[in-house]
Each structure stands twice: as structure tokens, then as C-alpha cells.
Structure 1
Amino acid sequence: MFLLVLVSGVLLYYRRLPAAQRGPFRIKALVALALFGVIFLALTHRLYLIGALFALMLPLLRHFLPWLLRSLPFLAGWYRRRQQRQSSTGGQRSRVAGEVVEMELDHDSGAMTGQVLTGPMAGRDLADLDQQEFLDLLSYCRQTDNDSARLLESYLDKRFGDAWRADDTVGHTESEQAAAHHNGALSDAEAYEILGLEDGADRDAIIQAHRRLMQKLHPDHGGSAYLAARINAARAQLLDRH
């Protein structure tokens, strides 16, 4: 009776979990079940059954082990693709783009990723660039698109803090105060992308998305004045339509 109640409670808890948390919970449940089984066998003096079971499975392991080893690369690739799909659909993401670079911010983790859109490094992920390539890209952005330069500076600040500025010998950087007063026009589509919302989101969704992003990116919390200004502009742009 106790086991029936326990299993029912675990199943009910499992069904209420978000989809992203069910995988880790299954692993923990299996480990707990295995430990419980070992403890039960030890208390009933039946640990020898584990050895007997292993002896029965040994021929099967010898038969299937080569196949498992050959399948490991495929299984690893499948697992990576599955994780990427989950991360891409598991939460809201904001997108801010200039002419040269674009950035994406995951609302849940606060992680920022970016990609080069145009120029000599087009197609490169920012995570793959080394220090000198970052400085070269920043110099190119400053020559071609101020929005991209500010975006890249925001990315570098979030990833490296102020350390990268010691190597920025050009020094042609607009102040945080000037960035905060950026007046670049936004389209509705750009505003929705910045807030990580679907086209046509209602007023409450806009306010909530703005609040979540500002908690992560406000300058008082170590964020970027430029990105905070763009988020505020996106909010104002969309609320004017409601």
C-alpha cells in the first residue's frame, strides 16, 4: 500500500513538471530506484542476486557492446541536436540587430549570443572569435555602423567586463550616456524582436517582457546602457500602438 501511494505521488509530481525538467527528473528517479533496490537486497540478505543477474547479462553485453560502441557518435550527435532544439524552444529570446552584427538574449538564463552578418567575418559566431578578431571587428563596425559597434561593445562588456577595453587602443567609443539617448527609429517588427515577443502581443505581455529584460540588462545591474535604451524604445514603440 505504501509503495502504491509513493508511486502515485511521484507520477503526479512528474506530470506537473515543465517539459524541460522531466528529463533530469527521470534520471534522478532511476538512480533513486536503483539505490532503493540495493538497500532492500542488502537488508534482506539477497545481494547475491545482483551477481547472478550480472552473470546472466554478461553474454548479452558481449554481443551488444561492439554495436553500442559504433553507435556512440550517432547517439552523441542526436543528443546535441535534441538539446539545441530544447534550448531554442524552451524560452523567450530577444534579438537586436545592426547592419554588421546581431545579438540574441535568452530571457531565462541571461546568456547573450551573437553573429556577424556582413563584412570580412560574415557568418562567424562571436563565441568563436579570438581577442584580436574582436578588436578588428569592432574597428570595422565603428567605420560602418554605430549601432553594430554599440552592440558589440555591449557583448564584450557582458562577456569580459572592462578588461577588453585595455586593448582597445583606438578609443573611439561613445559614452554610456550618449548610448542611453540613442534615438534610432524602430519598426514594429524590430520592437517585437527586441522584446522577444510574437507580432501582435498584447499590452500586458509587452510590459512583462520589458520588465524581465530590464532586470537583466539595466546599467544599475551591470547591464548595457545601449541595450537598455533599445529595450525602452521597443516598449514605447509598441505601447503607442495599444
Structure 2
Amino acid sequence: MNPITVLILLILALGVLFVYRRLPAAQRGAFRLRALIALALFGLAFLALTHRLYLLGALFALLVPFLRHLLPWLIRSLPFLARWYQRRQQRRGPSGGQRSKVAADIVAMELDHDTGAMTGQVLSGPFAGRDLADLQQQEFIELLQYCRQTDTDSARLLESYLDKRFGDSWRADDPNGHSDDHTPPSDNGSLSDAEAYDILGLEPGADRDAIVQAHRRLMQKLHPDHGGSAYLAARINAARAHLLASK
């Protein structure tokens, strides 16, 4: 392989790594899968162009003795693996299309438990009545400035949406810098039962086990250590604490 080819491959690898590091944690799994598929296709194309496809046949021939011993073990293990996967799914519990709802004075958000997709709407102020998905990036910045001047919780909530949708790229257009996401929500101690159930995506009257499971499922997606939002994590923790206190 000549030095120019090596240099091109190195630049491509660095570019992929740069894009990967800027992605939100929730999008990295899909990106890794796409990158692996692209790498496999690139490898096949490279072998074809350099007339080295015979190497695949040689590799397969080397693996045949191992496959002959591995295949019976895999067949015997399938029932065990199926039961293990089923138990794992039962422990995690299906979300059943549950959606969490978090509202502040200016904006409201919904999070789909299955996909992790976040949607939202402007409730008041500039762009009132519009879906967040329809706003342009500069309109987001204008709305964010208004939220920071009017309602801190709305600003935290909107920043969480922007991080989920754009990663860190929107911060380059933010003239004042983002606010301190570690500041707790201002109404943490005044959640109503209805608000707490909405945040966890549960029906009123859900039992203790359902509350704990919904909390765990959401924290797996939204905990700051997993690339989530400290503000939303605080709201989820507050909702869990509020509901369990009455059980």
C-alpha cells in the first residue's frame, strides 16, 4: 500500500473519529453500526480493485475447522440464549409506547421511551404555538435568549432539546454561552401528582414497581454520564421521589 493511500485512510479515520466524538451518546450506537458496514464495503471494494478477493476465500478456509467445532455449540446454545434474551427483556420491561412529558412556562417536551426521540412545542412568547421541529437554528437562539430572560426552567428544557437534536453545534451560534445545566429546576419541590406521572410517562395510580422501572429506563437514556441532560435527570429524580413518597 503506497504512502498516499495510507495518508488518505488516516485522514478518513480521523474524520470519522471527530464526527463520532461530537455526536450525542444516544446516536453513537447507530453511527458505529453504519461505520462498520461502510468499513466492510470499503474493504470488499479495495480487495476487488487490487485483485485480492482470493484472500477472502483463504480466510474462510482457515476458519472452516473452527466453524465445524463452533457450529454445534452454537446450535446447542440457541435455546439458552433465547431464554436469556427473553429474561433480559422482561427485566427491562417494555415501555408500551410510553412518552414522558416535561413542561415549563414557555416550552413543553415529550420523550418517546422506545426511540429516545424528543419533540416539543412553544407554549408562549416568540413562536408560540409552533412545533420545535419547525424552527430554524437562529430561531432557536432567539427563543433561548427569551427563555433565559423570562423563565430559567424553560431555558434549561430548551437547551436539553437542542443538545439532543444538534449535539454541541448550536452552541457556536449562542452569543451568551449556555446556562449552567447543573442548576436544579426552580420548582423541584412543588410537583403535582399529575406532573410527576407525566414526567415518568405513567398513568395515574401506577404502582411502585412501575415507577421504579420507568425511572430506571429514563435514566439509562438521559443520565448526564450517558450524554443526557442534568436538568431532565433532576426532573426525573424529583418525579420518582414525589410519587414514591406517597406509596
* TM-score of Structure 1 vs Structure 2, range by shorter chain: 0.5 to 0.7
Cα offset, 1:176, TM superposition: 2.9
- The 5-angstrom pairing of residues 21-170 of structure 1 reads 91-170=97-176
Please tell me whether Structure 1 or Structure 2 has the larger radius of gyration of its CA atoms.
Answer: 1
Q: Which stretches of structure 1, 4 residues or longer, exceed 3 Å deviation after superposition?
A: 179-184
Deviations, residues 90-148 of structure 1 (Å, cap 9, x unaligned) = 60000000000000000000000000011121110101100110001001111111111
CA–CA distance in 1 between the matches of 2:206 and 2:98? Answer: 13
| Residue identity in the other structure for 2:175 | T
Partner of residue 204, structure 2 = 199
Deviations, residues 139-168 of structure 1 (Å, cap 9, x unaligned) = 111111111100000000111111111111
Cα offset, 1:182, TM superposition: 7.3
Normalising by structure 2, we get a TM-score of 0.59
Contact 2:153/2:185 (<8 A) preserved: no
- Summarize the Cα distance change of 1:122–1:184 in structure 2 as closer, same or farther, 3 Å threshold: farther
Which one of the candidate residues 202, 212, 217 is aligned to 1:212? 217
Cα offset, 1:178, TM superposition: 2.1
Between 183-192 and 129-138, the greater mean CA deviation after superposition: 183-192
Partner of residue 226, structure 1 = 231
CA–CA distance in 2 between the matches of 1:196 and 1:205? Answer: 10
Normalising by structure 1, we get a TM-score of 0.60
> What RMSD, in angstroms, separates the aligned Cα atoms of the two structures?
1.8
CA–CA distance in 2 between the matches of 1:168 and 1:204? Answer: 42
CA–CA distance in 1 between the matches of 2:109 and 2:236? Answer: 13
Identity across aligned pairs (percent)?
77
- Summarize the Cα distance change of 1:135–1:234 in structure 2 as closer, same or farther, 3 Å threshold: same
Deviations, residues 60-91 of structure 1 (Å, cap 9, x unaligned) = xxxxxxxxxxxxxxxxxxxxxxxxxxxxx960
Contact 1:195/1:209 (<8 A) preserved: yes
Contact 1:180/1:225 (<8 A) preserved: no
Partner of residue 188, structure 1 = 193
Asked which structure has the greater RCO (Cα within 8 Å, sep 6+), the reply is: 2
Contact 1:182/1:226 (<8 A) preserved: no
